[in-house]
Amino acid sequence: MNPRLAALTVAGLIVVFDQWTKLLVRQKLSLSDSITVIPGFFNLVHAENPGAAFSMLAGASQAVRSVLLIGLASVIILLLGAGLFGKFHIVTSPVSRWAVSLVLGGAVGNLIDRVRVGTVTDFLEFYLGNYYWPSFNVADSAIFCGAVLLFAEQWLHKPKPEPNVS
């Protein structure tokens, strides 16, 4: 299979799985409901995030959030798509191709929510004692994993400095 087509397939599967899990959460849990899965560690919840990551911009007006978040996500999606097809040099290896496909799928999954309902459905909640990580979803997970892969690849493969010969 063509590597670009494989990367787009991965991104598409992430979008499908993300939208399916969010649909299940919206159908099965009322807003703010919670189901304990692993006591003291993991819950399924139904949260709607009107802002960006960690609820940034949640207090901004709906119009400002829509323009900024939908606009920014659209630009990122276009740049990532162009990167997969060689227009930018962000995809330089198979690892970066998979990383970009993860970020692309996650970005599209969250953009669909934002355009459709104005918020992003989050449902995975991890915590220890009174310390809670903000809830997130499949798309967020894909974006995070893709970003970590890109960072790791850049960090592990950064060029070695030339020796200083005087």
Q: Give the pLDDT of residue 88.
A: 65
Mark whether 122 is an active-site residue: yes
pLDDT tens profile 110-161 = 999 999 988 899 999 999 988 999 999 999 999 999 999 989 988 887 665 6
Mark whether 113 is an active-site residue: no
Tell whether the model's pLDDT for residue 22 goes beyond 80: yes
Q: Give the pLDDT of residue 53.
A: 66
Q: Average pLDDT in the 99-110 region?
A: 96
Strand partners, 120: 49
Tell whether the model's pLDDT for residue 100 goes beyond 80: yes
Choose, from 18, 33, 113, 122, the residue flagged as catalytic.
Answer: 122
Q: Residue written as tokens 């139904």?
A: 46
- Output b/e per residue, 109-127; b: 16+ Cβ within 10 A: bbbbbbeeeebbbbbbbee
Q: Rounded to 5 degrees, what angle do the CA atoms 78, 83, 87 make?
A: 95
pTM of the entire predicted model = 0.84
pLDDT tens profile 38-86 = 999 999 999 998 867 656 666 666 767 777 788 888 998 998 888 888 7
Q: Give the pLDDT of residue 29.
A: 96
Q: Does 3 or 135 have the greater pLDDT score?
A: 135
Q: Give the pLDDT of residue 93.
A: 85
